[in-house]
Structure 1
């Protein structure tokens, strides 16, 4: 693929992302929907998982008198913008190619899937802070891991999934870097925090109590009388939902099958990530993210979060969080120089070359742009799939429609 064609694809995608972001920035929040209700879960019914952020929103609202639905919108914009700025600044500073992150699977998936309104951006920013603490050279190892365990505990209070993206990885990373077990044992604090929030998952009436509390601070007309699903779900105990995604749904497509195809497509891209370190807008790349590193980190994140795939159906969220956190590890942490990690990449490359796609740089680049990303809007149909070309096709279809209608 020529550099001109790649730059054209990237420019069109950025135009789509910019339009969606501006559309979100200018919309007036006037309804307590699924996303706002999830952010506003608080401790009005007693201590409960995910209640910390909602409690902070309440205090800021009572102190500033800013409408609370505007606060959640401001929070989402600031957190997501900070994440975008971090990635662009870090990649530009280190001369790393932004190509893959600018595809629908990358940084802007959160925007396309409306996950900008979840707390994922904040949790990823906490991972960045943890990585920077661990990378500090002028601080004793004990304090590195002490502060890391504090931040992980805080993140677990924000959302319990944060534990699975941090403790397994950072414990393994510390072990492979021959950090003393005494320091690794400091992760006992977030383990206790996870046990605590799991036990206090909420009573049968917690969602209703929180809903009644929110009605006191949300103007009449900005909520319906129906309990938002995110508040209804906070009451429930964990149960296996792994087969829910494999039921036929969404006009006949199995979401579970789409997720599996998506996962293996990402494995192909990451095992050959060296081929995706390409110039965008003429910026020369001086530093490369190694295929062995991004593949290993991604696999560790997926394996560590398997429990999440059993108890929730939004797998696209977990996969994307694994992608972005893996890139953060590649940027911030010292590479792990183990032969086994290199061999894992070689094995995957050998299998892919033999049974799926021959090793060819142009083919790998093309494949990365046609990956079907699940759970995104296809035209006007929600929760299906898309890719780079379908997004661009949809853009031109709308332009033609409005031009001739």
Structure 2
């Protein structure tokens, strides 16, 4: 693979994934008890509740336009993925790339994961990814004014109203502002940062401490004529989720996910380890960069303790870590140091292509903690599409 042709290959890659996504989104639309659909149906008709913003939008659009709730959800899901892929394409194009970065971009833990594991497709973390790219682009300019902090706050607060899980990944969003400010933690900067994330903390407080009563939940469901899946889990407390994880966790599952982490993250970890900070001609060694990203990544481990969708959590953590690394490249905050990194085999085109195919398309972690690793998932998904087209 020629590095200068990467953008063309990546464009084709994203188009193919988008077509796969459309097919499986339609399959979800036709499933009468699809969990993803139920999550997008949560609304505010019974009162304020977590994850209700998108469902309320769907409900209001349903009142205005002659479409069913499911048709509106399908349209919004397709539009959401279209926007995400467009944003990712322009975010990753025209940056200096090496083979390690290409392997990191094509990791099965990144953009292809929701296709390999369709259960994850159209889950609400997609809005976290979109929000992160938007904020990264917002703070990529030379001048950072107060308006950008306001936009940062609005984007993040809106994302919290869509999916409260973004609070676990808040460290990645904060890091964008910190590195862009050259790690100068002045009182003025900290005050702006606090004001920016304050709406998120307030929203999260109300979500955590105020839940719908059974009557309010019944009213919410009654307005849309459906009540299943994610809607019935709205009032589950944190303790019950933790108990669910503890009841399923085994030593072999922990070992499996450690291996998934080491293999799936390997190219990105090598990049991070061999990268150095550069701020105003002052050099910070790569260990500092690795330490900063490690501390940013650390809070995401909390999700593995409170919910059993370990495949989703590792996908979200990887995506945000990679996008953060790319942000540093785009803003010329780091420099990759290739010395003392013996990867001579990556200069053989045939070996590179073979390794990339095996690494990117040969495996994928399943969604739940107790599920085994999937093999050649994209081939299996293509086979499903082909088989269904013959029926």
Q: The residue matched to 1:305 in structure 2 has which SS?
A: helix
Contact 1:45 1:210 in 2 (8 A): yes
Q: The residue matched to 2:239 in structure 1 has which SS?
A: coil
Would you tell me which structure has more helix in proportion to its own residues? Answer: 2
Structure 1 residue aligned with 2:153, among 145, 149, 157? 149
TM-score by length of 2: 0.72
Aligned to 1:177: 183
Q: The residue matched to 2:142 in structure 1 has which SS?
A: coil
Aligned to 2:21: 21
TM-score by length of 1: 0.70
Aligned to 2:239: 239
Gaps of 5+ in 2: 275-285
Cα distance between partner residues in 2 of 1:11 and 1:135: 23
Contact 1:61 1:71 in 2 (8 A): yes
Cα distance between partner residues in 1 of 2:140 and 2:233: 38
Aligned to 2:311: 316
Aligned to 1:268: 266
Decide whether aligned partners of structure 1 residues 149 and 384 sit closer, same or farther in structure 2, where only a CA change above 3 A counts. same
Matched, 1:134 2:139: yes
Residue 78 (structure 1) shift: 1.3
C-alpha root-mean-square deviation of aligned residues, in Å? 4.5
What does 1:3-402 correspond to in 2, within 5 Å? 17=17, 20-24=20-24, 27=27, 29-30=29-30, 31-94=32-95, 96=97, 98-114=102-118, 115-140=120-145, 142-167=146-171, 169-170=173-174, 173-174=177-178, 177-179=183-185, 180-186=189-195, 187-204=197-214, 206-215=216-225, 227-239=227-239, 241=241, 244-245=244-245, 255-273=253-271, 299-333=294-328, 334=331, 336=333, 362=346, 365=355, 368-369=359-360, 372-375=363-366, 383-387=371-375, 390-391=376-377, 394=380
Decide whether aligned partners of structure 1 residues 79 and 318 sit closer, same or farther in structure 2, where only a CA change above 3 A counts. same
Residue 60 (structure 1) shift: 0.9
Count how many residue pairs are aligned between Structure 1 and Structure 2: 352
Higher deviation after alignment, 94-103 or 191-200: 94-103
Q: The residue matched to 1:236 in structure 2 has which SS?
A: coil
Higher deviation after alignment, 32-41 or 193-202: 193-202
Residue 138 (structure 1) shift: 3.9
Residue 49 (structure 1) shift: 0.9
CA deviation vs aligned residue, 1:95-131 (integer Å, no higher than 9, x gap): 5454433342221112222323222222211112222
Contact 2:171 2:296 in 1 (8 A): no
Gaps of 5+ in 1: 216-222, 277-290
